[in-house]
Structures are given as C-alpha cells and as structure tokens.
Chains A and B, each alone.
Chain A
Amino acid sequence: MSAAYIAGAYEHPTRKADGISVAQLHMQSAAGALADAGLSFDDVDGYFCAGDAPGLGAMSMLEYMNLNVHHVDSTETGGSSYLIHVAHAAQAIAAGKCNVALITLAGRPRAAGLKSAKMPPSPTPDTPFEGLFAPSVVEMYGMVAARHMYEFGTTSEQLAWIKVAASHHAQHNDRAMLRNLVTVEDVVTSPLVAAPLHRLDCCVVSDGGGALVVTSEAVAKSLNRPLVKVRGSGEAVKHPSAGRVDLTTSAGAISGPRAFAEAGVTPADIKYASIYDSFTITVLVALEDLGFCAKGKGGAFVADGNLISGVGRLPFNTDGGGLCNNHPSNRGGMTKVIEAVRQLRGEAHPAVQVPGCDLALAHGTGGSLATRHGSATLILERL
C-alpha cells in the first residue's frame, strides 16, 4: 500500500464564534490547513466531513466552498470521525481515488448556548429506551467511571491526575479556555456534576473547528513541510450488545491493537499520545484499551504526573486537550490529530515539545462510551 501523509493541519483560533456560521468555520479551517500544507483549494480532489457539517454534509460543504472532487466520505462516529477520515483518506489515496484529501470539522455550541452535547432525537429503535430517562452526557460517562471504580478500585484522585496533566500543558497555550494550573484537590473538590464525575473531570464546551490535509507521497514530497506519515490505523464500534453491557472496555481495545499491528510498533515505542478527553474517564479507559497499561491499572498509570510532558512516561494532549484547551463542536478528534502533527513536526509549544518526537499516537472515542461509540486509532511517524 502506498503511503499517505498529513501535509496540512490547522486549528481554528476562535473558541466562541459569535456571528460566524458553521459553514464559515469549516471553510476558514480548510483554508488554514491548505495554507499550512502549501496547497490551494484547487488542489483538493477528495473531501471528508462528519455530522457536524451543516445541511447535507459533504454535498452542502462542497457547494459552499465551490469545490469539485471525485472522492467523498461522510463516515460518522461522533467525535472520533476525523481520525477515521484520516485512515480512509490514506486508503483512498492508496487506491488511487484521490491525491489531496481535505477533512474539516466545525461547530458553535457555545455561541448557541448549549451546555453540552445533545443527543439528537432520531427514529432509531434505541431512542425511547434511553430517552425516557434523558441521560446527560456527564451521567453516561459517570456510569462508566462508577463501574471502573467498582471493578478496579480506581479513585477520583487518580482520575483527577488526568486533568492536572492537561492543565500543566494548557498553561502554555495562549488560546486554551482554561489556562490555570489545577491540583488533584482542585478537581476532587470541584462540584459533582453526576457523581462520581466532578465539574473538572469534564472537557470544555467550545466553538471553532479544524482541518487536515492528507496527501499522496508524491504530493507530500513536493511540499516544503515535514513528512508526517500515516503508519497505522484502526477503527471499531462498540454498543450495549443487546443487553450484554460492558462499560469498562471501549472499542479502542479493537482499534488500538489493529493500528499497532499495521504500524508494526508497540505502545512502548510511542513518544507522544493524543488521547480523546471528553472526560477524564475517557482517557483512562482508552489508555488501558490501547495497551499502555493493563486493564484496571489505568488509575495507577496516570497518577503522579505520568502524562505530563517532561515529567512522565507518556506526554499526552500537550495543547491542553479537550479538558482545558478546545473541544470544538463537542467533538475532540480533530484537535487530537492536529496536536500529534505539531509534536511530530517539532511545532508544539517549546515548554511541552517532546524531544525527538518521531512516533505519535492519536486516539478518538466518539458517541457515548456508555452506549454506542466509535473508536479510532492512528499511528503517525515523522520521517
């Protein structure tokens, strides 16, 4: 399979999009990523977007941007969609379907006054079985955390270390929504939203977006940018299995090993990890499923600063992540890839840049970990 490269990456600078439409955010992000790559809209021959795109998704956005492409993909797995888009773009490029794939994400939940992601009503068979109880997103993830604590003795203090690490990174990011350093005590004494999850276990609600440009090897090598190769990928969906519910393992237990196998590397080889962080528990479960530690040992793994760049074994989310920086459109997958690209290029903030970062992982968990969700794992290499 011929290789694909992430040639352009761009995080929209806004965190509150008053007076900016969702389509405009998408296109501004696209323009940023193309400029970052040294390419133009005219070079794009493949387009990828997910459920955050307005109207009829790819069709509406292609019309708005006035683009004509010969490959489209609207794979929707919630906030992890964009990692799958990178994988699918690499596959499309290998199959000769396109050479310059544009992936966009954007949204403005904050300007629209939404406190958190809303599950859209749709006539799926499961809707009334959950909708009658109107579970909030925090309650959903709260159930995951409660079960993990019950089975493995995980503590709120251990979960808090994930937020603490994110805050250590966010203090260096001018654009981060939450730039103050927090302590374990700050997290566990913040108000309980849905016990056992506290306010500071949750990610921010932010507007904005981001975009990526994935290209063929020939295109990537013609550009004046560091070469970031898509070395491996994996994707999987998990759900309540008709009543055989298992809240402590995610679809990452499938997507992770597949990505590692394709890349021919192991968790021990990874120098930086972007881990989807809608909540602290989302990170903990993913780290276990990806094999950075055994199932049930995530609490011990994240404690004592093990995720802090320059301190711990596995620097994660060095932009501050969704927990402190940005979670545009309630979907954190795009920003996970963008920060991994920054790290591999050596373009992260100097205070958090991982020295010699040549192998990185980006992982997304979209939908709801407590019900149906899609996990996607990318392993990226700097050549």
Chain B
Amino acid sequence: MTLADLAAVNFDALPFWQGTEAGEFLLARCESCGEAHHYPRALCPFCRSEAIRFSPASGKGAIYSLAVTRTPGKPLRVVAYVTLAEGPTIMTQIVDADEAVAIGDPVRVDFQKHPEGLTAAVFRLARNTN
C-alpha cells in the first residue's frame, strides 16, 4: 500500500492533500470551538464537533525541534517539527537547510511531490524574510 493509497482511504484529510497538490497549506479548524488542529480529522479533537473547515494557513512557522543527518556528497537531511504561526506543531522536513539550521529559526512552507503520489508540505529557512 502506497502513502497515496493510505491517504485516499483517510477521507478526513483529503482536502489537505488537494491543497498541497495545488500549492496551498490548508489548516483544519473547528468552527465550533475555534481551535486549529493537525493532522486533519473529521471530528474536532478538542471539542469533538463535526464542524471542521479547511482554510489557507499563512505558511509561516518556526522550527520546534529537528534532527540533522549529514551524508558526504549529499545535502543536509533535516527532519523537524515546525510550529505554524496559527499554532499547531507538525512533522515535516526542512529542505535546502544550511549547517546553522537551529530550533527557533523562522521557516516558510514549500511543496514537494513525493514519488508515491502525494505532495508534501516541507519548509525552507526564511531568516531574512520573516
């Protein structure tokens, strides 16, 4: 089963994947309690209402934590948690990072097509633009 297959049967989050495909980070927010959450669910994980609406996020965030893997001859691999400006902290990857990449660095969303068919929301350092 590919990741795309898995995403296809988790109906809750389909708008999110349609969003990344279109170059947009759609955040799930509950219209009943107002809280944003991630990964997207059909029922609000905080108040359990079904009034979930997706809306575009700013795409801005900051690195909450990271793990850096260095392989000679390859770009840095940085797996990270990023805290979005809207609140939720999400697992992601920091692409095209430099050696100074660190917790607290401002980042901005970007999108990368995955070989298994989904488009991932990744982040790039945005030290000079935030």
Which A residues are within 8 Å of any B CB, using their own CB? 121, 123-133, 135, 138-140, 142-144, 146-147, 150, 192-197, 240-245, 247, 370-371
Contacts and interface: CB of A to CB of B under 8 A. Distances in A.
Contacts of A144: 65
A128 B21 CA distance: 14
26 contacts: A123-B1, A124-B10, A125-B10, A128-B4, A128-B10, A128-B118, A129-B13, A130-B91, A131-B3, A133-B79, A142-B67, A143-B81, A147-B65, A192-B70, A194-B68, A195-B67, A196-B67, A242-B37, A242-B41, A242-B88, A243-B36, A243-B90, A247-B65, A247-B81, A370-B81, A371-B91
Given A126-B39, A127-B3, A150-B65, A143 B89 contact: no
A194 B79 CA distance: 9
Interface string B1-20: 10110110110110001000
Given A128-B10, A133-B93, A243 B88 contact: yes
A240 B65 contact: no
Contact of A195 (B45, B69, B84, B90): B69
B41 to A, nearest CB: 7
Contacts of A371: 91
A128 B88 CA distance: 17
A128 B7 contact: yes
Given A133-B91, A146-B66, A193-B69, A245 B79 contact: no
Contact of A240 (B9, B41, B89, B103): B89
A149 B63 CA distance: 14
A135 B91 contact: yes
A129 B91 contact: yes
A247 B81 CA distance: 10
A150 B103 contact: yes
Given A128-B6, A129-B90, A243-B36, A121 B1 contact: yes
From A128, A139, A196, residue with most partner B Cβ within 10 Å: A128
Contacts of A121: 1, 6
B92 interface: yes
A161 B91 CA distance: 30
B81 A245 contact: yes
B53 interface: no
A149 B105 CA distance: 16
B70 A195 contact: yes
B112 to A, nearest CB: 8
A146 B103 contact: yes
A131 B39 CA distance: 13
Contacts of B88: 242-244
Given A123-B10, A243-B37, 6 more contacts: A132-B3, A139-B67, A147-B64, A147-B65, A194-B69, A196-B67
A125 B9 CA distance: 9
